[in-house]
């Protein structure tokens, strides 16, 4: 029993990481680096505020999402309507807050789909190598060769409009970048000692991939996913702008900007405010992703 206990202890220590650093201390150090970045903390605060606004939209908005103030269409900012109204008399501020729900849902759900596809394809290609890697790499290159927004438009034409189809369309076009990164990391990690220990203990290939290799790619997955979320939000806004995404009366920043084009002279804020919300959200996620990349870079752990 003592032998098996010692073997288990050695195996556990190897699994903690190729560099001999536990996950806890690694992420603790990364968070300390992140906290020192003032821009990152401001962006994190903005992201948290947007998420809270989306979750508690019914509590912080003065009107229902589709409430119409008849006779007060295309009004400018006022005490009753903080950011004015649209062509149907609906409150622009309310619809921007509800539109954040769509953007965040697309960012999270679509990116989850992309991560799942990219993670499996990249991990299998990197681990098995040879013909499997050659075939999967060609598939990655084929999907990556299509302009993402055009591919998403084609998918929406095939599937039809609707929020569920937006999830699918955006998710299936954004997995290639992660797949390439994971493939590269897996090819390096599969040579490490803890993988050899897993093989020696009788671990199967899929077990090694999902239990030992993928967890060591977690920091990369977090960074890539965070930096892809703003792209997913922009894809949704573009599809909705073209009338292929979220359909009225559901609020979407892209559809609001599209509808406001016809009334830009009567109420310029109608098109400006959803655009500002989109820019702030995308910029916050982008800067936060950059900061996470720097914080989770192991080469910076002693700085």
pLDDT, tens digit, 9 for 90 and up, residues 262-271: 998 888 889 8
Cβ atoms of 301 and 17 closer than 8 Å: no
DSSP labels, 203-258: --HHHHIIIIIGGGGHHHHHHHHHHHHHHHHHHHHHHHHTTSSSPTTS--HHHHHH
At residue 49, φ and ψ (nearest 5 deg) are: -65, -40
Cβ atoms of 136 and 121 closer than 8 Å: yes
Mean pLDDT to the nearest integer, 284-293:
92
Least confident residue range of 11-15, 25-29, 180-184, 196-200: 11-15
Model confidence at 9: pLDDT above 90: no
Tell me the whole-structure pTM to 2 decimals. Answer: 0.85
State the pLDDT confidence band at 30, using cuts at 50, 70 and 90. Answer: confident
Model confidence at 130: pLDDT above 60: yes
Mean pLDDT to the nearest integer, 257-266:
91
Least confident residue range of 96-100, 141-145, 193-197: 193-197
State the pLDDT confidence band at 2, using cuts at 50, 70 and 90. Answer: very low
Quote the pLDDT of residue 198: 83
Six-digit token string for 28: 């603790």
Taking alpha carbons only, the member of 28, 16, 182, 170 closest to residue 104 is 170
Model confidence at 50: pLDDT above 50: yes
State the chain's mean pLDDT as an integer.
87
Read off the pLDDT of residues 68-88 as tens digits, 9 standing for 90 and up.
999 899 999 999 999 999 999
Quote the pLDDT of residue 33: 85
State the pLDDT confidence band at 22, using cuts at 50, 70 and 90. Answer: low
State the pLDDT confidence band at 18, using cuts at 50, 70 and 90. Answer: very low
Model confidence at 97: pLDDT above 60: yes
Between 31 and 257, residue with greater pLDDT: 257
Quote the pLDDT of residue 39: 93
Model confidence at 5: pLDDT above 50: no
Model confidence at 10: pLDDT above 60: no
Mean pLDDT to the nearest integer, 126-138:
94
Q: Among the residues of the chain, which ranges form H helices?
A: 2-15, 23-36, 38-55, 57-60, 92-105, 111-128, 130-145, 148-159, 163-173, 176-189, 193-200, 205-208, 218-241, 253-260, 269-295
At residue 217, φ and ψ (nearest 5 deg) are: -100, 10
State the pLDDT confidence band at 23, using cuts at 50, 70 and 90. Answer: low
């Amino acid at each position: 029993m003592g032998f098996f206990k010692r073997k288990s202890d050695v195996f556990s220590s190897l699994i903690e990481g190729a560099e001999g650093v536990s996950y806890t201390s690694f992420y603790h150090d990364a968070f300390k680096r992140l906290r020192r970045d003032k821009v990152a903390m401001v962006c994190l605060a903005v992201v948290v505020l947007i998420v809270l606004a989306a979750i508690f939209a019914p509590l912080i908005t003065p009107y229902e999402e589709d409430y119409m103030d008849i006779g007060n269409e295309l009004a400018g900012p006022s005490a009753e309507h903080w950011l004015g109204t649209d062509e149907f008399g609906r409150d622009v501020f309310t619809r921007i807050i509800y539109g954040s729900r769509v953007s965040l849902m697309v960012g999270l759900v679509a990116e989850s789909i992309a991560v799942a596809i990219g993670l499996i394809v990249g991990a299998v290609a990197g681990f098995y190598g040879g013909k499997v890697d050659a075939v999967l790499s060609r598939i990655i290159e084929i999907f990556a060769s299509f302009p993402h927004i055009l591919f998403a438009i084609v998918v929406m034409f095939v599937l039809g409009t609707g929020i569920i189809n937006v999830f699918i369309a955006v998710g299936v076009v954004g997995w290639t970048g992660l797949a390439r990164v994971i493939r590269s990391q897996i090819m390096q990690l599969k040579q490490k000692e803890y993988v050899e220990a897993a093989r020696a203990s009788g671990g199967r290939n899929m077990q090694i991939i999902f239990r030992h290799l993928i967890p060591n790619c977690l920091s990369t997955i977090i960074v890539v996913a965070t930096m892809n979320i703003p792209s997913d939000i922009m894809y949704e806004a573009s599809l909705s702008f073209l009338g292929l995404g979220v359909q009225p009366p559901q609020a979407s920043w892209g559809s609001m900007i599209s509808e406001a084009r016809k009334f830009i002279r009567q109420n310029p804020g109608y098109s400006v405010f959803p655009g500002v919300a989109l820019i702030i959200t995308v910029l916050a996620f982008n800067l936060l992703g950059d900061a996470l990349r720097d914080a989770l870079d192991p080469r910076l752990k002693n700085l």
